[in-house]
């Protein structure tokens, strides 16, 4: 008997799963692409461990030597300004600036040997969020394009929206909520350059804009302001949906009038524009409008519903409050929430010049927020089915610059995972004496993507139609890191 899903199978005549799907796309046995995709969706790669994912992206690249892979015995030019402290995990050398994380290290796992060959922020952020290498070479661009590979969150949105793939992932039963949200801004929105940045990786790419994330927007005050390290006021933390008016001023009557005008405009526009593009835009627009018109959503986006104690626990800075918002959205049925730690004006985790801001603000902020999220989810009974992932798109050079600034180093960097069956207190992978290279087999962004898809019960080999309508696998070169799970 032939099984379309699961691990690679062979038909009685010796035809493998890949060959069947490739031939099926061309009409073998009377199958066309929709039927092949429907057949693939009848089961998933594994029993789902996670219902939801909170993906914390520390854009800029934290140093492995200042976080989860300290080398106190390395030469003075390498070991860095901070010392390791004891944790609840054997063999975990954790930074003294992360005491709250050290105290709960038995609740998370550390992969020390994440690695890829693309020493660039835009290329790295695309790779980490999609599991696919960016089609634009290093230095060839900084902004997302319609040809990009879809993010993992966009794939989740696509699978839940398409009836012929309804068995590939369980549907979100919460009315009016999207399946994929990005907080607090699109990546790059706060960075000050001559042009507005729209970093790649978080979008639907060739799947179409209809599967882009619903993204909130929070602006900084001025060019020297960093809301990720200072306390933010409630007036700033509005979490407005990007591109729409604030939910406080959006009445249902006004919404209906706005929709009517848009419908009239779209009717005229449909005469001359591509129907597929319009359909995707309409789908995205409907999701955004439904989101802001929902009383339940407005409540979820209102952080004032949380106690002062909980808000203080996460940290009153933008990263802390955005991570708390992610927990609120997961509670309301959102499946995949990405929280970016962006870096306005080039400051932040991209620490070339010195480690002062890293030690004074970034590490304490990460320590407070990550530990608060894990403990809060556990106390609420949500950690068993919520997967928390926290990492940057690269690490930093082993050899420090003056004042302990470090340059880009994608060859080795850590990832932290918790919840959804992750074996807490685990350290996976070994690095060399300088935290420069892996001495055990490294783990790629492809492996990370396969792990996240597999945790959600999505077969990493599931095929989606690309921009040309050809079936392409979600992950081709990666494999789930099953050692992470108990």
Q: Domain ranges in the chain?
A: 52-239+301-460, 244-287
Q: How far is CA 313 from CA 13, 226, 368, in A?
A: 60, 20, 7
Assess contact for 73 and 196: CB atoms under 8 A.
no
Q: What is d(CA 179, CA 200) in angstroms, rounded to the nearest whole number?
A: 19
SS3 state of residue 248 = helix
Assess contact for 383 and 333: CB atoms under 8 A.
no
Q: How far is CA 4 from CA 31, 89, 275, in A?
A: 13, 41, 32
pLDDT band of residue 178 (cuts 50, 70, 90) is confident
Assess contact for 450 and 480: CB atoms under 8 A.
yes
Q: What is d(CA 355, CA 70) in angstroms, rounded to the nearest whole number?
A: 15
* Spatial CB neighbours of 420, under 8 Å, sequence gap ≥ 6: 49, 50, 383, 384, 385, 386, 387, 455
* pLDDT digit string, tens, across residues 291-322: 656 677 778 889 999 999 999 999 999 999 99
- How many other CB atoms are found less than 10 A from the CB of residue 464? 21
Distance of CA 103 to the CA centre of its chain: 25
pLDDT band of residue 283 (cuts 50, 70, 90) is low
pLDDT at position 241: 81
Cα-based angle 148, 345, 55 (whole degrees, multiple of 5): 45
Assess contact for 437 and 117: CB atoms under 8 A.
no
* pLDDT digit string, tens, across residues 195-211: 778 999 999 999 999 99
- How many other CB atoms are found less than 10 A from the CB of residue 285? 18
* pLDDT digit string, tens, across residues 371-405: 999 999 999 999 999 999 999 999 999 999 989 99
Distance of CA 54 to the CA centre of its chain: 7
**What homologous superfamily is domain 52-239+301-460 in, according to CATH?**
Alkaline Phosphatase, subunit A (3.40.720.10)
Dihedral sign, CA of 9, 14, 19, 20? negative
Residue 327: is it exposed, middle or buried by C-beta count within 10 angstroms (0-12/13-18/19+)?
buried
SS3 state of residue 292 = helix
Q: How far is CA 280 from CA 177, 185, 274, in A?
A: 17, 22, 10
* pLDDT digit string, tens, across residues 83-132: 999 999 999 999 999 999 999 999 999 999 999 999 999 999 999 999 99
* Spatial CB neighbours of 62, under 8 Å, sequence gap ≥ 6: 349, 358, 362, 366, 392, 395, 396, 413
* pLDDT digit string, tens, across residues 329-350: 999 999 999 999 987 766 679 9
* Spatial CB neighbours of 399, under 8 Å, sequence gap ≥ 6: 77, 78, 406
Cα-based angle 37, 38, 42 (whole degrees, multiple of 5): 115
């Amino acid at each position: 008997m032939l099984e379309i899903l699961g691990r690679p199978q062979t038909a009685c005549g010796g035809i493998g799963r890949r060959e069947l799907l490739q031939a099926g796309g061309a009409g073998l046995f009377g199958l066309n692409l929709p039927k092949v995709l429907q057949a693939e969706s009848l089961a998933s790669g594994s029993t789902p461990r996670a219902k939801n994912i909170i993906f914390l992206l520390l854009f800029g690249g934290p140093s492995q030597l200042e976080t989860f892979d300290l080398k106190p015995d390395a030469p003075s030019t390498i070991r860095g300004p901070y010392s390791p402290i004891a944790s609840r995990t054997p063999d975990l050398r954790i930074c003294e600036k992360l005491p709250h994380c050290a105290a709960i290290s038995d609740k998370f796992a550390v992969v020390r040997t994440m690695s890829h060959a693309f020493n660039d922020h835009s290329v790295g952020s695309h790779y980490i969020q999609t599991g696919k290498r960016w089609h634009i070479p290093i230095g060839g661009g900084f902004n997302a394009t319609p040809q990009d590979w879809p993010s993992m969150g966009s794939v989740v949105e696509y699978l839940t929206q398409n009836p012929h793939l309804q068995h590939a992932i369980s549907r979100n039963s919460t009315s009016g909520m999207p399946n994929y949200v990005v907080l607090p801004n699109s990546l790059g929105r706060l960075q000050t350059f001559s042009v507005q940045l729209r970093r790649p990786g978080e979008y639907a790419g060739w799947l179409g804009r209809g599967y882009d994330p619903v993204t909130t927007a929070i602006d900084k005050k001025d060019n020297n302001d960093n809301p990720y390290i200072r306390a933010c006021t409630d007036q700033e933390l509005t979490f407005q949906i990007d591109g729409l008016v604030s939910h406080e001023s959006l009445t249902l009557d006004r919404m209906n009038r706005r929709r009517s005008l848009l419908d009239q405009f779209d009717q005229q526009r449909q005469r001359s524009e591509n129907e597929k593009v319009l359909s995707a835009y309409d789908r995205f627009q409907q999701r955004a409008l439904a989101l802001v018109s929902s009383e339940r959503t407005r409540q979820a986006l209102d952080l004032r519903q949380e106690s002062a104690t909980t808000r203080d626990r996460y940290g009153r800075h933008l990263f802390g409050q955005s991570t708390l918002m992610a927990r609120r959205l997961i509670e309301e049925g959102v499946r995949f929430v990405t929280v970016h730690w962006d870096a306005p004006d080039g400051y932040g985790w991209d620490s070339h010049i010195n480690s002062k801001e890293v030690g004074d603000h970034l590490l304490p902020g990460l320590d407070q927020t990550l530990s608060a999220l894990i403990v809060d989810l556990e106390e609420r009974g949500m950690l068993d089915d919520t997967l928390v992932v926290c990492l940057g798109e690269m690490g930093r050079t082993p050899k420090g610059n003056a004042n302990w600034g470090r340059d880009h180093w994608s060859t080795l960097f850590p990832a932290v995972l918790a919840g959804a069956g992750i074996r807490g207190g685990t350290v996976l992978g070994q690095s060399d004496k300088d935290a420069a290279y892996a001495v055990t087999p490294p783990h790629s962004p492809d492996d990370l993507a396969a792990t996240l898809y597999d945790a959600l019960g999505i077969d990493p080999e599931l095929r989606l139609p690309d921009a040309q309508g050809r079936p392409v696998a979600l992950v081709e070169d990666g494999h789930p890191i099953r050692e992470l799970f108990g």
